[in-house]
Amino acid sequence: MQIGYRRRSSLGVAAALLVASAGGGTAADSAKGRRIAERWCAECHVASPVQRRASDAVPTFSQIGRSERFSEAKLADFLANPHRSRMPNLGLTRSEIADLVAYIRRQAR
């Protein structure tokens, strides 16, 4: 009885921690950014260090991450509204954009 009770309560704590880490947070997550990039950007951009082929006329994420023209704020602005560009507006949410910016900035090296 005592053992069963203990086990249940530690499971409860684990579940609460899981919920907290999954649900909480607007913190930018570059791992999520990477998944978004592979899905939505890699068709045109070289979006990761291991990707070899994409459209020639498009800057790679490592170039963008290093670019002087793109602070994090400018990058986020551009992704929210890539006007006057051949780059399509992909209708990203703010949290997707934050994740992508974190990911793209990590490509700079």
Site residues (vs ligand HEC, CB under 6 A): 37, 40-41, 43-45, 58-59, 64, 67, 75, 78-79, 85-88, 90, 100
By C-beta, is 79 or 98 nearer to ligand HEC?
A: 79
Amino acid at 59: P
Residue 103 beta carbon to ligand HEC: minimum distance, rounded to whole angstroms: 8
Distance of CA 94 to the CA centre of its chain: 11
State the nearest-atom distance from the C-beta of 53 to ligand HEC, in Å. 14
Of the pair 28, 100, the CB lying nearest ligand HEC is at: 100
CB 81 within 8 A of CB 89: yes
C-beta closer to ligand HEC: residue 24 or 88: 88
CB of 57 to ligand HEC, least distance (A): 6
Half-sphere exposure of 82 (CA within 13 A, CB side): 12
Give the integer Cα–Cα distance in Å for 100 and 11.
34
CB 102 within 8 A of CB 28: yes
